[in-house]
Structure 1
Amino acid sequence: MALRLPSEIVVERFLPTARAMLATELHDRGFTQKEVAERLGLTQAAVSKYLRGDVTVEERFAEDERMVATVETIAEGFADGSMDGYEALAELLDLVRAFEDRGPICAVHEEEMPALEGLGCDLCVRGTDDAVLAEREALAAVRRGARRVASEPAMAEHVPNVGTNVGTAVPDAADATDVAAVPGRLQAVNGRIMVPADPEFGASQRVAETIRAAMAVDPDVRGALNLATSEALLDAARERGIDPFEFDADYDDRGERLRAGFRERGGVPRVAYHGGAFGIEPVAYVFGATATEAAALAVDLAESARTE
């Protein structure tokens, strides 16, 4: 597998797209090809190619509203004389930095270097510090957990109507953006569980809230997933010596109420559940040190529930 730097994506994909869009925008505003060439530091022949569409444009960049807005800002600044080349360069560099941080440059980079898939290009943007390594581990745990759940046929009947999510928090998670989960949730379709996307941070408010409540009582419990509450599932837990913890279904102050309940209980249970309420589906949470561990227990419970 070839090593690819994000700067190569910038040169080969971003720059031609930005130039093509700027050339078109300036020409539409009445600039001659010569004037466009002077503004963009190109030859007139190169501008002619851009205007004819003889260059490959990366649609993920061209269709991004941030790119469109930046191109319009620069073109307007050039047109009314309020922006010079230095300021235009600053606008483009800001856009590149935004696109490299879990943006479309990152997406293209991951395609061309699959080893980066699902990592949000943190390695490229922030380096290999401890925080980045913790994020990579959390993302990997969620990927493994989601695959484990999706690979077990018995799990499909335990997916609630709202879907299942699998989450892992980084140590000292401050809010939902520090908890990795699956965007769009796992859904049961025709007896199979579909995983719609790679994990991302901030992808699940409810699972994140539940994990952070657990971490407040036991920092080593950083993983969880949600399932549909059923007597079969709860009985399977009890057979393993797990005493499921019941909590109120109301969403208001749920995190605080879970913290208080866990503290009163003396620790975080492996299974916590509620019986639902008006407009709220009954849901059970399975906890573990990571999403991988939580998923393993959930699969074990589901298999036992199926045989009962």
Structure 2
Amino acid sequence: MRPPCEIVVWYVIPTIRSELAKELLNLGMKQKEISELLDITQPAVSQYISDKRGHGIKFNDETQKLIKDFAKGLVEEKYNQRDIIPHVCEICRKVKTDEILCQLHKEKGKMPTDCDACMSSHLAE
């Protein structure tokens, strides 16, 4: 049995990074700049951009907008590297409220259909 936080680490965070890297690339940043900004390797950025990593979730329009707005703020230097963790956490909390985490937990975590672990962790926040 996988706890919800393991699902976040394996699926949610990589998808956030993937979407963020793609948006930064669309806004004109080079892969090397993205890797330095996100503190990941350039090959990791390449894998995120080419959907070889972090492509297992489809975020809704509201979550996509959070990512796009954050990317735009990074490019315009409204935000910097120290703002990445709080913004990724904000996006992750949004994903939890969309019940994507519950769906993934049941699919990938082999949880019974009546499990409420994800919702219980959401209510504890």
**Residue type matched to 2:120 in 1?**
L
| Aligned residue among 71, 80, 87 for 2:67 | 71
Spell out, residue by residue over 1:185-243, the C-alpha distance to the aligned partner (whole angstroms, 9 max, x if none).
xxxxxxxxxxxxxxxxxxxxxxxxxxxxxxxxxxxxxxxxxxxxxxxxxxxxxxxxxxx
Larger Rg computed on CA atoms: 1
In structure 2, the CA distance between the partners of 1:48 and 1:74, relative to structure 1 (3 Å rule), is same
In structure 2, the CA distance between the partners of 1:116 and 1:96, relative to structure 1 (3 Å rule), is farther
Q: Secondary structure at the match of 1:60?
A: coil
Post-superposition shift, 1:95? 2.1
Q: Higher relative CO (CA 8 A, sep ≥ 6), structure 1 or 2?
A: 2
| Aligned residue among 110, 120, 123 for 1:123 | 120
Q: How many residues align?
A: 123
Spell out, residue by residue over 1:119-142, the C-alpha distance to the aligned partner (whole angstroms, 9 max, x if none).
373322335xxxxxxxxxxxxxxx
Which segments of structure 1 move beyond 4 Å, counting only runs of 4 or more? none
Alignment check: 8 A CA contact 2:63 2:91 kept: yes
Structure 2, unmatched stretches of 5+, are none
* Aligned twin of 2:86: 90
**Residue type matched to 1:67 in 2?**
T
Spell out, residue by residue over 1:98-123, the C-alpha distance to the aligned partner (whole angstroms, 9 max, x if none).
32245211221133343353637332
In structure 2, the CA distance between the partners of 1:85 and 1:117, relative to structure 1 (3 Å rule), is farther
Post-superposition shift, 1:13? 0.6
Spell out, residue by residue over 1:159-179, the C-alpha distance to the aligned partner (whole angstroms, 9 max, x if none).
xxxxxxxxxxxxxxxxxxxxx
* Aligned twin of 2:77: 81
2:106 is the counterpart of 1:110: yes
**Residue type matched to 1:124 in 2?**
S
| Aligned residue among 15, 21, 24 for 1:23 | 21
Q: CA RMSD in A?
A: 2.1
- Between the aligned partners of 2:98 and 2:67, the Cα distance in structure 1 is 21
- Between the aligned partners of 1:26 and 1:46, the Cα distance in structure 2 is 14
Q: Which has the larger helix fraction?
A: 2
Alignment check: 8 A CA contact 1:70 1:95 kept: yes
Structure 1, unmatched stretches of 5+, are 128-308
User: TM (normalized to structure 1)?
Assistant: 0.37
* Aligned twin of 1:41: 39
- Between the aligned partners of 2:70 and 2:46, the Cα distance in structure 1 is 20
